[in-house]
């Protein structure tokens, strides 16, 4: 299975700032996704990162708040913009080649906003 590296693994940020999270995969993958896991909750899909085009966002998530890039088939970034304490969560990158194969996750980025 693909090896997924996320950076940073954790960060503490000030209110109003932005942070970019990187997701690097050791092989080319068709699909990349970004999830959020708020404290004590399950995972919620933020968006699908599309290679060479704009990401597809889920209801409740917008590009201005969570801009996503995917310049190639092995790399994506998620930016959390103008952060507030409500953005304190674990952010997870995941990948999948086809729908008949398992989806795999990185170790996540634990983000705390003061």
Partner 1 sequence: KQEVTQIPAALSVPEGENLVLNCSFTDSAIYNLQWFRQDPGKGLTSLLLIQSSQREQTSGRLNASLDKSSGRSTLYIAASQPGDSATYLCAVPTQGGSEKLVFGKGTKLTVNP
CB of 14 to partner 1, least distance (A): 22
The verdict on 73 binding partner 1 (CB under 8 A) reads no
Residue the block writes with tokens 């998620």: 78
**Coil, strand, or helix at residue 21?**
strand
Cα dihedral 67, 60, 103, 93 sign: positive
Nearer to partner 1, 80 or 92 (CB): 92
Output the furthest CA–CA distance in the chain (Å, rounded): 41
Considering only residues 13, 19, 73, 90, which one is a binding residue for partner 1 as defined by CB under 8 A?
90
Binder among 6, 74, 76, 89 for partner 1 (CB under 8 A)? 6
Closest CB to partner 1 among residues 92, 113:
92
Closer residue to partner 1, CB minimum distance, 44 or 82: 44
Is residue 28 a contact residue for partner 1 (CB under 8 A)?
no
Contact present, 23 and 94 (Cβ < 8 Å):
no
Q: How far apart are CA 49 and CA 2, in angstroms?
A: 17
What tokens does 7 get?
């950076």
Residue ranges binding partner 1 (CB under 8 A):
1, 4, 6, 31, 33, 41-43, 45, 48, 90, 92, 94, 96, 99-108, 110
């Amino acid at each position: 299975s693909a090896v997924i590296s996320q950076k940073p693994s954790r960060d503490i940020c000030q209110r109003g700032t932005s942070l970019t999270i990187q997701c690097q995969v050791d092989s080319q993958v068709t699909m990349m996704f970004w999830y959020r896991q708020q404290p004590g909750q399950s995972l919620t899909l933020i968006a699908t990162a599309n290679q060479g085009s704009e990401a597809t966002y889920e209801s409740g998530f917008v590009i201005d708040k969570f801009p996503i890039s995917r310049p190639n088939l092995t790399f994506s970034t998620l930016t959390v913009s103008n952060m507030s304490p409500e953005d304190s969560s674990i952010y997870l990158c995941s990948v999948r080649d086809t729908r008949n194969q398992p989806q795999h996750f990185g170790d996540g980025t634990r983000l705390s906003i003061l």
